[in-house]
Structure formats: structure tokens, C-alpha cells
Structure 1
Amino acid sequence: MKRKRVVVMGFMGSMPIAGVIWQHIHYIVGLQRLRHDVYYIEDSARLPYNPETFEVTDEFDYAAKVLSRLAGEFDFKNRWAFCARYLPGNPTAGLSLKKIRQLYREADAILNVCGTQEFNDDLLVSDRILYVESDPGVEQIKIDQGVKSTIEYLRRHRALFTFGENVGTKTFPVPTHGFKWLPTRQPVVTDLWKTKRTPSDVAVFTSVANWSTSGLKDISWRGQKYLWSKSREFLRFISAPKRAGETFELATNIEHTATHRKFERNGWRLRCPLQMSV
């Protein structure tokens, strides 16, 4: 395979929580393992989130610290950048703005992971931007509803990829209106999960999740409302610990007292997720 220069774009610096970080790291490391020349860039007008102070501000010191640490750990040191498009002069951490612009011009492919990257004049010099959709259904519904901003945004990409393997097939109910969606899957570098440590006698099955988005990202289509939150679907599996005969520990923020107690009655151990995910 011919070595390519690939830019991965995402939001793991501005939203530095465990699931978001791991999703991006698998792309970076996976492409490195395929012998490609890989860079990571965040170039956004969105304000970053600091999970230690629980604040969204225009300061990007924490985001830069996170990206620098990850770059050292996963071998993309001197190959990352955070550009604060929301500040005058577009200041950066990591690579300079000049280098960012050069990468946009020269990259063989630019991966817009999760479709979170806004466009700007610098980025739009490239005609090799690939949209990677991790939450299928939403954009297809917006297209069907004629949302102009979504349609224009997607059309600026060279190709559209989605985790929804049925999108565009007869089994997918939402019309695609001429948009070609290519199926893909989340890359997983399996040895990142390997350890030489054996499980302790008190090891349990664990997960961490945000319980509710308060309806902010719910979407309706043809009379049916689709929820973004995990809460309703998670309740279908509330009896899992009893059925499996194992201990399940869930780090999440269930604020409803009755629901919290219902999980505990079914054998779940519940923990606060805030510090565990940072």
C-alpha cells in the first residue's frame, strides 16, 4: 500500500472525555499501523470544555495539554494542532497555522470524524474531505426534511461514510435523496485493550455513560420521535446482573431517585462518572 498523508479531524481536545478520546485514537493509531503519515487537527470555532472545572470557556490550555499528552503516548508528537478559530488571529497550540494550511493543501485525505468539523476558507482548499458519520439517522432525516444547512454541508465532502450499514438499502426507511452513503465501521486497534495483568477476584463488568441529554438532540420524523439519550433503552437491560449472576458497575448520572433505586435493586453498582471519564 502506498503511504498517504492523512489528517484526522475531530473534537477529543475540546470534549476530552473517555469515549470521545478512544474513538479518535483508534483512527490515528490504526492509520499509523497501515504505515500512513498521520496528523490530528482540531480547527474549530466551538469553545472547548474543561471536565475538571466543568466549564466551557475560550481558554484552550486544557485542550492543548490533553492533546500533547495523547500525542506523546500514541506516537503523534509534533503532528497535532488545536486552532482556536473563535479568537482573533486564530491562535494555535501544537502546529502553527501555517503548517495547518499546508496540511490542508497537501493531505491525500482529511477525515471529518463524527462530522464535527466546521468548514473555513483554509480547510476548503481541499477537495479530499471525507465525512465519517458515527450516529446514523440524524443527517438522513434532516436531508429528507430539506434542512438546507445540512444538505450544503454534506455536499462539500468528497465522500460520505456512515456506521449505518443499512443506510441507502431497502431496509432503511429514510430516503437518501441522491446522497451516496458508504458503509464503514469504527476501527478498533485490539492490542490497545490487551494487558498482562490477570483480573482480580473482585473484578466486575463496567461501563460509563451519560444517562440523559435532556431532549436537546432528540429528532422527530414523520410523526415518530427518536431519542438521543440512552436512558429509555438502557432500562430494557436492567435485569442483566441478576440473569448473568455477575456484578455490573455503571458510572452514570441517574438523577431520578426511583430509577436509581430500581437499578440498585437489580444488582447494579452505580458510581459518579465525572472523575472516571476525565
Structure 2
Amino acid sequence: MRRPRTTVVVSGMIAADPFQGGASWAVLQYVLGLQRLGYEVHLVEPIPTASIQPPGTPLGESLNEAYFHRVAEEYGLERHATLLHAGTRETVGMPYDELRALCRRAAVLLNVSGMLADPELVSPIPIRVYLDLDPAFNQLWHAAEGIDMRFAAHTHFATVGQEVGSDACPVPTCGRDWIPTLPPVVLDRWPVAGEIRRDAWTTVANWRGYGSIEHGGVHHGQKAHSFRRLMELPGRTTGKFAVALSIHPGETRDVTALGANGWEILDPIEAAGTPWHYARFVAGSRGEIGIAKSGYVASRCGWFSDRSACYLACGRPVIAQETGFGRHLPTGSGLLSFGDIEGATDATARVRADYAVHARAARAVAEEYLDSDRVLGRLLGKVGAPC
């Protein structure tokens, strides 16, 4: 008799802020990667009332649901994905009672930033992993700003900040033992790319995602603060730079400076507003210029981008701002790190001098270090999940 498959619940943001293809992929890598390993996987996304679009719309008629349904349909998850109106029992997908029954038989919860907070769904699952994709900020919100990040509901804590908890990273651990885990990429969903359709160094970014944090005399800022230090980069190289950038038009000084310094600003929804548009954008680029939030850099938390993992898998070289990840991933070929504008300038020249070698090395880094089979298998092993 065949043994039932182990059930894993994944909770993360896809539709609460729709039309962010990269953010959707950050969650999909876990869902699709766990399916590859043979698990029964169910995606549950709680949507706060304030996030439902248009305001006052029933969840089932909302823009959020339309986007969620389209993504689920595209990746064969129609029967494995549920939207939950947070704080209620209103769902789209699996009815609440069936969802509760599924959680009672589930062995593991991977809960991005503790998003799923309903105790009837969370508490019955024996292995409850708080999955930190925003290292330094999640810990500082809790320790420095007194925000309840819902750590207490979890049994294990995993982070893409490779240095959180080490002597190199001053970020408070909040009394938790953090398991470092690299961002997974499902390699068969991200094959080696062919033709370069946009001959430019690209990335997808939010100029500001939320407020900055001051802690221990250190400013933990946003992408805006890092970009400003690299504003003159395009003028120092012969390459082009194109950024699918979400920036408020009221940031006139920065918008003007970006254009004046040679940064091409692309509409992020047009370029990467769905997971499939995002994948096409990444695969069609020459490579990535990966600029980190200044908080990741200042904290030396070892954050490495799930977006960079996608570029590498496509065989597109990545030039990434150093956050401490260089102690955990090989740099110098395919993946190059930099600490300042001079280092970024040098890295672009090195890739330009031998692009084919760096392209092959990029894919090799993804295969060796970021393959979802390895990354997720290792993570589940560390939390004691059944096979």
C-alpha cells in the first residue's frame, strides 16, 4: 500500500500586493520546489482587509483574487492554493473547514514573515518554520521597534541572511537560533536562456519598500540609499543599465538624477508585473546589477537575492552588492560581488571581457548552490521534517 505523501503548507505573499512578478516567484520557488521533492504542498495566502482591491470588494471578486487565480492556473496550482481573508473564515479556493483539516494533517508550515497567523490553521502543524526573506529588518522590527513579528507561534527559524547569528552580523537574534538557507531556484523552470533581447544590465526593484531603521548608531535603509551611492555607475562603463523600478513620481530629485546619469527606468508592471513577464525580462537581459537595500549592506547579514538566483539559473552573470554572502557563495566568475562604485565598474569590465565564460559559470553557481532540490532538502532536514 502506498504511503500518503507528507503535507507541507506554504504561506507567503503573491496577491496582497499584486503585479509584482518577482515577489510572486520568491514564494513559488518554495511551492514548486517542494512539489518536485514529492511533497503534497498547499499555498495559503492571508489577505488583510486593507489590501483588498478595490476597497470594499468581496475577496472573491477582488483584483487580488483575479491575479492569484491567474498565477495558480499558470503553474498548475488551482487545487493547491487558497486565499484567506485575514481574520475571517472567508476563503477563495479550499473552503475554510477543509483548509483546517488539511493543516491538521500537515507536517510542516513554511511561513514567510509569519504571515499566516490564524491559530486554528497554524497551531496544529507540528513543525512551524518562520521563513525570513527580509533579514535584519524582521529582527530589528521586533527587537528595536517592539513590533510583534509573531515569532512565538513558530518552532523553527530560517533566514536567507547567511550571517544572522554570527559574530560578523550585529543584528539581534531575538533569542532564536536562525538556520541559514539560500534562496532556492527550481532549475527546470529557469533553463539556460538563449538570445539576449535587452543588451543591458538590469534588475527589478522598489526604490522604497518601507521605512528605515536606526539601531546601534547604524542606519538600515532602503534601495534608494544604496542606489544614490552608485548613481554615476553607467557613466563609468560602456554598458547600458535598465531598471524596472517602482519609484514614486514625487521623488523628482532622484528620478532626474537617475536619468541624467544614464539609468533607463522601465515600468515595473509592464516589464515584470506577472511571474511569466518577470521570467522573460530576467532571461532576456545581459545580466543583473544587483543593488541591495542599504540595511542589508550595513548589517552584514549575508542576504542573497532570490532574483539574483533566477538570473544565475538562466546563465546570466550577476554583479551583486556585497552583504556578507561572499562567505557562502563563490564569487569572481558568473557571480561577482562589489563593495563600492569602483568595484562595480571593474566587475562590469571583467564580464564584458569574457562574457561566455561568466555566463557558463553563472549557471554552474545556480546548479551547485541554489538548486531547489538541494536547498529545500537541506532545510527540511535541518528542521526534522519527515520525507
Amino acid at match of 2:34: L
Higher relative contact order (Cα pairs below 8 Å, separated by 6+ residues): 2
**Displacement of 1:163 after TM fit?**
1.2
Q: Which amino acid aligns with 1:34?
A: L
Map of 1:8 onto structure 2: 10
2:263 matched to 1:260? no
* Cα 1:199/1:178, change in 2 over 3 Å: closer
Counterpart AA for 2:13: F
SS at match of 1:75: coil
- Once structures 1 and 2 are overlaid, which stretch shifts more, 56-65 or 21-30? 56-65
What does residue 226 of structure 2 align with?
233
**CA–CA distance in 2 between the matches of 1:172 and 1:13?**
33
Matched, 1:180 2:183: no
Sequence identity, in percent?
26
> How far 1:259 moved relative to its partner?
2.5
Does 2:130 match 1:131? yes
Give the whole-Å Cα distance in 1 for the aligned partners of 2:271 and 2:55.
Answer: 19
Structure 2 portions without partners, runs of 5+: 274-387
TM-score by length of 1: 0.83
- Comparing 154-163 with 65-74, greater Cα deviation is found at 65-74
Partners of 1:69 and 1:143 in 2: CA distance? 35
Following TM superposition, by how much is the alpha carbon of 1:107 offset from its aligned partner in structure 2, in angstroms?
0.7
| Counterpart residue number, 1:75 | 76
Aligned residue number for residue 244 of structure 2: 251
- Out of 105-114 and 122-131, give the one that drifted further: 122-131
CA distance in 2, matches of 1:207, 1:28: 24
State the shift of 1:177 in Å.
5.1
Give the whole-Å Cα distance in 2 for the aligned partners of 1:251 and 1:133: 24
Secondary structure of the equivalent of 1:231? helix
Letter in 2 for 1:260: V
**How far apart, CA to CA, are the structure 2 residues paired with 1:143 and 1:209?**
25
Does the alignment pair 1:217 with 2:211? yes
1:93 maps to which residue?
Answer: 92
Residues 260 and 35 (structure 1), Cα distance of their counterparts in 2 relative to 1, 3 Å cut = same
Cα distance between partner residues in 2 of 1:143 and 1:105: 29
Residue 38 of structure 1, CA deviation = 1.1
Q: Which residue of 1 aligns with 2:299?
A: none
Counterpart contact for 1:44–1:85, Cα < 8 Å: yes
Q: Deviations over 1:223-277 (max 9, x none)?
A: 33322x2111012222333334222112322533333232223222123334444
Match of 2:201 in 1: 205
Distance 1:254 1:122, change over 3 A: closer
Per-residue Cα deviation, 1:153-192 (whole angstroms, up to 9, x for no partner): 2122010001111111111213435311111121112333
Secondary structure of the structure 2 residue equivalent to 1:125: coil
Contact 1:143 1:176 in 2 (8 A): no
2:27 aligns with 24
Deviation at 1:220, TM superposition (A): 2.1
Partners of 2:259 and 2:265 within 8 A in 1? yes
For the residue of structure 1 that corresponds to 2:268, the secondary structure is coil
Q: What is the CA–CA distance in structure 2 between the aligned matches of 1:244 and 1:115, rounded to whole Å? A: 42
Normalising by structure 2, what TM-score? 0.62
Q: Deviations over 1:11-41 (max 9, x none)?
A: 2122222221110111111111112111111
Kindly indicate whether the alpha-carbon contact (under 8 Å) linking 1:42 and 1:82 is maintained by their aligned counterparts in 2. yes
Deviations 1:51-71 (A, max 9, x none): xxxx55553232222222222
Contact 2:16 2:48 (C-alpha < 8 Å) held by counterparts: no
Matched position secondary structure for 1:172: coil
Asked if structure 2 preserves the Cα contact closer than 8 Å seen for 1:7 and 1:109, the reply is yes
What residue number does 2:359 align with?
none
SS in 2 for 1:121: helix
State whether residues 4 and 36 of structure 1, in contact with CA within 8 Å, keep that contact through their aligned partners in structure 2.
yes
In 2: Cα distance, 1:240 partner to 1:146 partner: 35
- The superposition leaves residues 104-143 of structure 1 with CA deviations (integer Å, 9 ceiling, x where unpaired) of 1011111102332223334323232210001111233345
Report how far residue 49 of structure 1 moved: 4.7
Residues 185-196 of structure 1: pairs in structure 2 closer than 5 A: 185-194=182-191
Q: Is the helix fraction higher in 1 or 2?
A: 2
RMSD between aligned residues: 2.6
Pairs aligned (count): 265
> What secondary structure does 1:7 align onto?
strand
Return the alpha-carbon distance in structure 1 between the equivalents of residues 145 and 263 of structure 2. Answer: 44
Q: Name the CA shift for 1:275/1:132 in 2 (closer, same or farther; >3 Å).
A: same
